[in-house]
Chains A and B, each alone.
Chain A
Amino acid sequence: MAELDGNKIKVRIESVDFYYEDFKALEDISIDIESNRVTALIGPSGCGKSTVLRLMNRMHEVMGKTRLKGKVTLDDQDIYAPGVDVVELRSRIGEIFQKPNPFPKSIYDNVAFGPRLQGRKSRSELDGIVEKALKQAALWKEVKNKLNTSALELSGGQQQRLCIARTLAVEPEVILMDEPCSALDPVATQQIEDTMEVLKENYTIIIVTHNMQQAARVSEYTGFMLIQETGEPGKLVEFGPTSKIFTMPDKKETENYITGRFG
């Protein structure tokens, strides 16, 4: 793979320690995320990958008592600074979850949910937003004739693409994806990956994945995380261009993990 010329830094995580109650889940995490790239986070289960995503949209704050030391910035603005509007932050950094979680509403109402929160109510404006978002998520063709049917009647893969459309309708700048394909079959997975390929032209994507081939396929940068033992905090072992991480990693642990999984 060719050398990457560095894009501007969109999100910067600087020396972050993170605690759930008294449990230290992350230690000394620093990652620079370039804009308009796909950055993948890999590592064994429980090493803190989902937690790293949460730091960026402050979703951990709805999960009880947590504590963060260090700094996280979006476009060089500290997102934990006093006075930062979490609601606005979350409309700039969207999240796709592991299990597709459409609301039990119509397809249309799912996609229109975010724009309506922002007070955009006119039917014609919403129609336009919904169509555009569904097209970006590569779902439009399949659902354009049944926008008023329940989202729950879609297949798992369609539901996940609907969740992507729902997030896109808010026009975020960054999209966090937490193992978005782990509940999907290979065909649906392929469709999501194709979608990501297109999306990165306009968005910055950070994806957590269990599937190393997927990380290798879709991302430009990869971070490998690890915990020494259960109860220890998760650490970032290595971060760099995906081509390098997968071919000649600097760290022994990275190599072991990657070769172990690749078989």
Chain B
Amino acid sequence: MNSSLFIEISSYQEHKYTESCFGDAVLSKKLPEEQRIISVLSDGLGSGVKANILSSMTTRMAMKFIESDLDLVRSAGIMMQALPICQIRKISYATFSIVDAILDGKTRIYEMDNPQCIIVRDAKQLNVSHHEITADNWKDRIINVYQFVAQEEDRIIIMSDGVTQAGLGNPKYPLGWQREGVWTFIENQVRRKPHISASALAEAIVHEALTKEPEEKAGDDISCTVIYFRKPRKLLLLSGPPFDEEKDKEVAELLDYYDGKTAICGGTTANIIERELCLKCEIDKTTFDPNIPMASVMPGIDLVTEGILTLTDVYRMLKEGIDEDKDNAAVRLTRLLLDSDKIDFVIGTKINEAHQDPNLPMELDIRRNIVKKIFRLLQSKFLKEISVKYV
């Protein structure tokens, strides 16, 4: 996407405490060619596996229909017909909220039986009028349709009723948290932290909902997706010496003139930049960890780490979750990656002879392989925009 605006989407979920899987489903997708994002959140009837099937089917069907620009009334009809019928309740049922946003263009929200979405602009709720439509064969199911042009710093919050009804059964919240309560919380958050990321906000909302629940255990599936329109946060990650030494200068300048954050992964790479840009680089002992080499500080560069071991650990954390209790170089790099929207990798392809030594106690993957794994994951799981350049 080459627009000046960027859309960050993030979801957070908690499942009903008696179940082991989510009854709600969330699904988001970016269509870079159309500068468009689609995000779906669905709540399946009941909880557990059965609900999961209903909601997963709904999100997938909705995604397909919206993506192919199919008529919504027809799509909704087809979806409801396609869902399996619950043996006990004799109905098939799942709710949905769909956000279909085109950068610098229209944003549409379709909502059926989920709590009303919250649209935030300038720390206030934006009132967008909506109209109602019904599917031909399901007259009692009403779909609300909103349409507006999103601006920089707008946010859209969609959620399952597990959020608004959090606290039911707790004498302190006889009617549950309610949409008003949720809004007050969001308002507070965005006033205190005007640039709070979509992921942090979604997580905060679900955690807050949990605190309302009796014994802080989720009595229902609680899901929330936040869509945040903002300036992209860019990161340049440089790793590995260029194949051709003559390129050293060029690469160093790339770093010097970059209009975003910068990181260097690799000792030799850091040495090159240190030499080319005449900077001083020192090891940062606060990042000591017996398993990960320490980071260094270099003026003007946001993070300097060792190469292959750190990257390998970054990959592990992207897959399994970040080591919250640590502050080593790999954790810092993972955070930096996750906090960025557009990441430009510049990968040097010179092979490090020392790493090819069969006497080394562990196998050191070639940089290119591990970087490839990292950026694929960043793309597919975290919806980051990635560019890779080999030098």
**A-B complex is real:** no
